[in-house]
Amino acid sequence: MINRKVAAIAGATVLALVLTSCASDRDGDDTNTGTDDGSGGGDTGGGASDATFVFGAAGAPASFDPFYASDGETFRITRQIYDNLIEYEEGGAAPGPGLAESWESSEDGLTWTFALREGVTFHDGTEFNAEAVCANFERWFNQNEVGQNAAVSYYWAADFGGFAGDGTDSLYDSCEATDDLTAVVTVTRVTSKFPTILGQAAYGIASPAALEEFNANDVAAEGEGFVFPAFATENPTGSGAFIFDSYDEANGTITLVRNEDYWGESAGVAELVFRIIPDENTRRQELEAGTIQGYDLPNPVDWAALEEAGNNVQVRPAFNILYLGLNPTTMPALTDDRVRQALYHAINREQLVASQLPEGAEVATQMMPSAVAGYNTELTAFEYSPELAQQLLADAGMSDLAIDLWYPTEVTRPYMPDPQRIYDSIRADWEAVGITVNPVAKPWNGGYLDGVQQDQAPAFFLGWTGDYDSAANFIGTFFESPENNFATHEYTWGQQLSDGLRAADSEPDEATREGLYEQLNADLMEYLPALAISHSPPAIVVAGNVEGLVPSPLTAENFATITITE
Amino acid sequence: MLRFVIRRGLQLFIAMFVLSVLLFVWLRSLPGGPVTALLGERGTPESTAALREALGLDEPLHVQYLRFLQRALEGDFGISNGVLRGAEAIDVFLTRLPATIELSIFALLIAVTLAIPLGYVAARRHGSALDTGSVIGSLVGVAVPVFFLAFVLKYFFAIRWGLLPPSGRQSVSIDATHVTGFFVLDGILTGEWDAAWDSFRHLILPAIALSSIPFAVIFRINRASVLDVLDEDYVRTARAKGLQAPVVRQRHVMRNALIPVVTTIGLQIGALLAGAVLTETVFNFQGIGQALALGFETRDYPVLQVLIMMAALIYIIVNLLVDIAYAVIDPRVRTR
Amino acid sequence: MSTKKERIDRLADAGRVSREEGISLYQSAWLRLRRDVVFLIGATIIVLFVILAAIAPWIAPHDPQAALLIDQVRPQTNPVPGPQDGFPLGADYAGRDLFSRLIVGAQQTLIVGVLATFGGLVGGLTLGTLAGGVGGWADAVVMRIVDVMLSIPSLLMAFSIAAVFANPSQWTVILAIAIVQVPIFARLLRGSMLAQRHSDHVLAARALGVRRPAIVFRHMLPNSLGPVIVQATLVLATAIIDAAALSFLGLGNPDDRQPEWGQMLGKAQDFFNSFPHLAFYPAVCIIVVALGFTLMGESLREALDPKSRR
């Protein structure tokens, strides 16, 4: 009889365990958000609430020093800890006051005077002043050999282009504290990007005392990776609305607490927790279970269901571009203008946008979204005409054109929620005009980007999300160097385009500059190094009881405005 | 005996060396690499080249390998550049190892408590409907893809019915002290009962999903082994002697039948690790398996190297221990 | 020592009997199988599955590749069109008839399973005959490699191989799974031949001066057929499941025009929260078919395994 008893006991034990855990869940459930005792939130939005906001992050941050980062997961966290000299307006991309209340440039556009905010202190209690601003600039400029690596200080290398003693021209020249609250920054050349770039998360202003104490610049490369100093890993110190508390690596959570002495309105929640959940499905399930209160980039497929379940899907304005890049390196036929035009005419972008992209997506008329200065309002969408496409191909003697169309797998981007579906749609359009399409599908990190950057892909999907409001950040990034993903150096107009972009960027007068960019956008639609497809709005979702989140087109949300209601 | 151990130890060393070479070459033959994983669409020819140089990936493969080997022999396995950037790769392994061990132990516990009684009953009633039913049942466990089982468990128990947490190791609201890294044990050691209980509840679903793998094997082995033992002369003799049925069962049948079962359990480590990659990914359980999947996605060579080498080392050592145990019991093995 | 190896070795032993004895062995096995519920269930599933795969294109109501309901697909409001007239299960995310895709999917699923198994068999046959037929150092080297490969969990191995291919496709999936099965068949065939080396019919053939290759191919291999069939049945089940797992991990065939269950399941994971049925149907199909092959394989093994004949 023992055998039966053993089986019965074993079965009963397991059952009991499951049942008891279910039963106790009822009382455990409502404590997990901390909202039950956080009654102070709501309309008053004051700092009285002791609620916790838990956000589902898609990946681990690189460190907590934004200067050494280039990824959204890191910036989402550091943005809450640091303030910038310039902050982009809430819900927009235009530069506005931050730690600098105002700024003005000299006639020649080389000297910039920042009037700083008074009464700001860093998290370590030290005072924010002009000396601190200059200390930050000097810190950025004076990097060691590893810090100068374009992959480590990505944004500085991209925006300022050089470091102290590396022999190259840097945009940065000097910084001087003329009085306690006035910092004068001198740059070496005129560029449309300055000082707008200073609003990017990478240029968060840190406490000079902490930078020094925790050896912020001691970044090192060893063992096929980078080792960051204590400042970046344990002691990030800014002046933002939240103070870094802890990073629990074993459990994958990062905890920030409210800065009670914040110079502005203090944060609506007492604790801000980022929980790392790499799988998107799981993020959604956690939101439904109430264990997180928000996550970024929900799959458009889930938007309706999420709303229905009482969550708040906040759609950001589309500040991105999806394009179909063409590269003639392996396919010389593409240098024929008629072939590129035919490929473009054949694509039914209206249908693509309606059936494959989320609501609010738009057909692109040029290589950047309408919110960016320099957008050419006179351009209209490239005409969809299969007949014209066939005619052009016949004229070019390419009626039997065959093309390798590359698309990435294992990835979703804000501008490209489902690459495979977009590929399907374009393949069908091209096949309809008699083009033979050979699919080349590669994992994003597993050969796709490599292939595109090494000129192996004659036709590929790629895109860009803007860092700030500047045409230089869009078409400048794509084409300013003729050695780009589109191999524009193969075309007769390649060098001219690059020169034009450089000239526009260094034009100090805003109106003239915008005119130059408008013309460049029109030119690009003539040249067609890439076929602009669409602008697609990315979303961020928060639970129904979360209020005050302002969606940002730059996907740069400030979590201090959030409050949690009952 | 000593010579046997020395010889196996030497074999272990050679095996690890060969594995390290194969692993090194395999990783670098994968399409893509850490450079594109880190830079994404922001990569430019300059930043790509600079990063390759900084990571030492521009050097010939054998140079890279020798440098890796030299450092590895000093106990330095490099720095993670994907899973937990900036952390020592070995620390990624050490932080995550307790999670996987914890999960595997619970999975094995579930499998053993179900499979052994069931296997015994099935064997005792060989050919009965119960036997047939449990055989089919155990094979259903084999036929269900682990990740799908994990999905279904999560869908019903966590999402639809909200009985258990859908993912993770511990709720954010729990402010627990970590001593050993085994969260349940930590809770018990520090007396933080809510933390222990919370971690336990997080373990239930992934452990059930993972247990489906060892369950089928243990059930099958146990059933076969009980069948074998029931047929042995000493059992018949014991019965003929008029020993009471429970005594025969306990002293003769179960004790002998369990020997192959116990060794089988020891050999389930490889299968558990393979299953952990899928289960931990679905349940966002911060263990070795999830780190493997993440490391693969981000092409984090140092982390992948250390995780796979360490997993192989553990696997080989357990096998070695099983072999040594056999050699102690059965002298014939030593001379082979 | 490992159970995997033990199971293979025990099965290989079943090939020891000569053809004359073999007839009675297979006869008695058949007699037992006819009354075996497990076998009957498994065989029924497989027969139905194979018939379905064979006639799928004729019974599917729609073209599985045609995006018939694409006009209804709206990524937010209606990403996956529901059941409607003529579309009993609705459509998938690309507006293709789900029911037709499930039916036709049986074909590709069977092809992937069979080709992967066949590839593993051919590879194993080559290695196994080399080892078992030639013996000596070839045997030692081959078996060393085979044993190492067997000690790695099959899924991890399939994963490692599939990851290396720069252009994933249905063929890379088949190849990755086939390579994983090679050592199983190699050990099986080698064991089976080793067991026969000293059996009467081989000794007789050798005494008559029959040359070595002839002995191997005419006398030894045919006797190994039983165990090979049993193992192939079991391998088919894991091949189908592993194909699904590879797809789940993003290493499957990215081109989803031709339906295949494993891939349908893998691709459905993005929709799992809102549309679990997309994953549920192919998963059930996979489970049932894998179960069919496993049940049949296990009952065949038990019938053939001399040790379990009581």
Would you call A25 and B78 a contact, using CB atoms and an 8 Å cutoff? no
> Is the confidence at residue A94, as pLDDT, over 50?
yes
Contacts of B39 in chain A (CB under 8 A): 70, 151, 154, 449
The residue among C10 and A8 whose pLDDT is bigger is C10
- C-interface mutation test, from A348, A424, A445, most C Cβ less than 10 A away: A424
pLDDT reported for residue B329: 61
> Is the confidence at residue C167, as pLDDT, over 90?
no
Of B31, B233, C74, C104, which Cα lies nearest the Cα of A351? Answer: C74
Hey, is the C-beta of C295 within 8 angstroms of any chain B C-beta?
yes
* Listed range (A508-517, C201-210, C274-283) with the worst mean pLDDT: C201-210
Q: Output the pTM of the full model.
A: 0.86
Strand blocks (E) in chain B: none
Chain C neighbors (3+ CB pairs < 8 Å):
A, B
- When CB atoms are compared, the residue of B121, B183, B294 closest to A3 is B121
The CA distance from A485 to A326, in Å, is 8
The CA distance from C185 to C124, in Å, is 5
Respond yes or no on whether ipTM tops 0.90.
no
pLDDT reported for residue C22: 56
- Per-residue pLDDT band for B331 (boundaries 50, 70, 90) equals low
| Domain C49-71+86-308: CATH architecture, name and number where available | Orthogonal Bundle (1.10)
pLDDT reported for residue A37: 38
Residue type, C248: F
CB B25 within 8 A of CB B60: no
> What is chain C's mean pLDDT, rounded?
84
* Listed range (A429-443, A486-500, B164-178) with the worst mean pLDDT: B164-178
- Strand A172-179 to strand A182-187: parallel, antiparallel, or no bridges (unpaired)? antiparallel
Contacts of B31 in chain C (CB under 8 A): 164-166
CATH 2.60.40.10 describes domain B89-166+205-335: no
pLDDT reported for residue C282: 95
Provide the Cα torsion A473, A475, A480, A481; round to 10°.
Answer: 100
**pLDDT digits 0-9 by tens, C194-251:** 777 777 777 787 788 777 777 777 777 777 778 888 889 989 999 999 999 898 888 8
Would you call B143 and C166 a contact, using CB atoms and an 8 Å cutoff? no
DSSP 8-state assignment for residue C131: I
Distances (CA, A) of A41 to A36, A260, A565: 11, 15, 6
Contacts of A10 in chain B (CB under 8 A): 113-114, 117
- Assigned token pair, C209: 């001066």
**pLDDT digits 0-9 by tens, C38-72:** 899 999 999 999 999 999 989 999 999 888 888 88
Shortest Cα distance, chain B CAs vs residue C235, angstroms? 12
CB A450 within 8 A of CB B36: yes
The residue among B144 and C10 whose pLDDT is bigger is B144
pLDDT reported for residue B330: 58
**pLDDT digits 0-9 by tens, A358-394:** 888 999 999 999 989 899 999 998 999 999 999 999 9
> Is the confidence at residue B78, as pLDDT, over 80?
yes
Contacts of C248 in chain B (CB under 8 A): 145, 147, 278
Would you call B121 and A21 a contact, using CB atoms and an 8 Å cutoff? no
**pLDDT digits 0-9 by tens, A40-66:** 333 444 445 789 999 999 989 989 999
Shortest Cα distance, chain A CAs vs residue B86, angstroms? 5
Would you call C271 and A358 a contact, using CB atoms and an 8 Å cutoff? no
**pLDDT digits 0-9 by tens, A386-443:** 999 999 999 999 989 999 999 998 888 889 988 988 998 899 899 999 999 998 988 8
pLDDT reported for residue C97: 93
**pLDDT digits 0-9 by tens, A22-31:** 433 333 333 3
The CA distance from C195 to C239, in Å, is 28
pLDDT reported for residue A503: 93
- Domain layout of chain B by residue ranges: 89-166+205-335
Would you call B30 and C298 a contact, using CB atoms and an 8 Å cutoff? no
Orientation angle between helical segments C98-129 and C170-197, nearest 10 degrees: 40
Highest mean pLDDT among A345-349, B45-49, B269-273: A345-349
pLDDT reported for residue B228: 80
Shortest Cα distance, chain A CAs vs residue C249, angstroms? 9
Distances (CA, A) of A229 to A62, A221, A235, B51, B302: 12, 11, 9, 19, 20
- Assigned token pair, A4: 């039966």
The answer for C 169-188 residues in CB contact with B (under 8 A) is none
pLDDT reported for residue C120: 94
- When CB atoms are compared, the residue of C154, C279, C291 closest to B140 is C291
- Assigned token pair, A81: 């800890």
